[in-house]
Amino acid sequence: MAKAPKNAISPTREEDYPEWYQQVIKAADLAEISPVRGCMVIKPWGYAIWENIQRALDRMFKDTGHQNAYFPLFIPLSYLEKEAQHVEGFAKECAVVTHHRLEANPEGGLRPTGQLEEPLVVRPTSETIIGAMYAKWVQSYRDLPILINQWANVVRWELRTRMFLRTTEFLWQEGHTAHATREEAVEETLKMLDVYATFAQDYMAMPVIKGEKTAGERFPGAVNTYSIEAMMQDRKALQSGTSHFLGQNFSKAQEIKYLSAEGREEFCWTTSWGVSTRLIGGLIMTHSDDDGLVLPPRLAPAHVVIMPIFRNDEERATVLDFCQRLEAELKAQSFSGEPVRVLLDAREMRGGEKSWLHVKRGVPVRLEIGPRDVASDAVFMARRDRAANEKSGVPRGEFVANISKLLTEIQDNLFARARTLRDENMRTIDNREEFIRYFTPKNEEKPELHGGFALCHYGEDPEVAQLLADLKVTIRCIPLEGQVAGGDRAAGQCIFTGKPSQGRAVFAKAY
């Protein structure tokens, strides 16, 4: 018998974190690089996770009064030009459509022809096209607020891409709202930030810090940008969702105006907010281990996989029958308000290989059912939040009755584990030397695993900016009140310049 490797994934997180990440995606069959530069193909298992993300978020959006709509993929070039900062922010990463026809060229290939009078930009984000429509839709204060979300794809021509984290085309949702007052728009901005944080923690089991971005990290054209920041297992930060208060910048640029109850013409106050398939990257890097993907049950495409084991046709019949009844029983149970998702995998495949396959794909609970289990009316169970070889027999009835409890336990366990890792790698730092030491890799062999989140007082300063750039550290956010211990808004002194500071910010290396 061939010796199995210690871990299903090689290299391990410790050996080479970025490569480990790629290998997990491959082993879990989530996605693969496509023939198109910078773009990926999301495979069924990966897409099913996205569908679960969509379903949960969509419900939360509806529950907060939003409706879905759809706007064009193409944006006239002139629309993007309207908001100065917005153009500047996106100009360098736009795909532009300039022709609308192909004709045969003399070499036998095809060449574009039929040049467009005005080039069309493939949306990098939809503020401008949606704003143009809102300008038509809003006449009176009675038309407000407009609370719309769209599920869409966008294109940003990034120079360096990584699967799920940064691809040229990606899937996301973008909410765009217009309000009569500043207060209402600010409230909306923070409300949706809360929705994201709740989703991240309750569904993804990923602890996040809600915070405000500094001026330099703001969305192009926004007055304020808020984000949720999560810590990956290599201690780097992942911006996992953003919510922007756009003030009247876009409404003024696009003339989104209404007549108030007092009969005055006013500009709307707008917001936008989004999360993308990047969340899947965050999910992978938050929970997965050296055996592959680990999925929180609430987002797992399958909660339980049943793997029948038999040696001959006679055993096959009894075992399969038992498994099918078990499948039906489990599907009749509910977890988190939905039927338990069960996968009966009766494919002709060696048991060990099949089992490892589901380990690598992150299925929360695995059941191996053989003749012995049928005879004793039990299931042989392994959970993905424990070691792959840790398995135990459980009476069938007890297992079925407790499935929801078990999945909840796994979900909670993953969250607790992730929060512990984050908290262990987050600290307040009060002097410059310690800060530099914290963010300087000690081991050149494994420079990936070091640092974490540092909570520090700081002041805007060119010299500080240079120091951060040299260390490759960024200010992730200024945490909102009550988000992190030591992060509350209390006065102090910038650890670099000694200038007065209004509160601590989260510093980290980031994706």
Partner RNA sequence: CGGGGCGUAGCUCAGCCUGGCAGAGCGCUUGGUUUGGGACCAAGAGGCCGAAGGUUCAAAUCCUUUCGCCCCGACCA
Q: Which residues form the interface with RNA (CB under 7 A)?
A: 1-2, 4-8, 18, 33, 37-38, 92-93, 156, 158-162, 165-168, 170, 217, 219, 239, 242, 276-278, 291, 309, 311, 350-353, 355-356, 360, 368-373, 380, 391, 469, 472
CB of 142 to RNA, least distance (A): 34
Collapsing DSSP states into helix, strand and coil, what is residue 114? strand
* Angstrom distance (rounded) from CA 451 to CA 443: 12
Residue 170 vs 196, nearer CB to RNA: 170
Residue 17 vs 203, nearer CB to RNA: 17
CB of 143 to RNA, least distance (A): 30
- DSSP class of 431: S
CB of 72 to RNA, least distance (A): 20
Residue 167 vs 189, nearer CB to RNA: 167
* Angstrom distance (rounded) from CA 239 to CA 242: 8
The number of angstroms, rounded, from the C-alpha of 105 to the middle of its chain's C-alpha atoms is 44
CB of 498 to RNA, least distance (A): 27
Residue 90 vs 335, nearer CB to RNA: 90
Please enumerate in sequence order all residues whose Cβ is within 8 A of that of 508, keeping only pairs 6 or more positions apart, or say none.
Answer: 229, 231, 235, 236, 237, 451, 452, 453, 454, 473, 474, 476
* Angstrom distance (rounded) from CA 207 to CA 368: 32
CB of 336 to RNA, least distance (A): 27
CB of 317 to RNA, least distance (A): 14
Type of residue found at 236: K
CB of 395 to RNA, least distance (A): 14
Residue 146 vs 230, nearer CB to RNA: 230
Residue 217 vs 255, nearer CB to RNA: 217
Phi, psi for residue 269 in degrees, rounded to 5: -110, 130
**Residue at token pair 């209404």:** 258
Residue 278 vs 298, nearer CB to RNA: 278
Residue 242 vs 425, nearer CB to RNA: 242
Q: Would you state the structure tokens that stand for residue 317, as one six-digit string?
A: 């019949």
* Angstrom distance (rounded) from CA 400 to CA 424: 36
CB of 338 to RNA, least distance (A): 27
Type of residue found at 232: M
SS3 for 385-397, per residue? Answer: CCCCCCCEEEEHH
Quick one: how many helices (H) and strands (E) in the chain?
A: 15, 27
* Angstrom distance (rounded) from CA 207 to CA 158: 28
Picking from 45, 86, 33, 1, the residue whose alpha carbon sits closest to that of residue 284 is 45
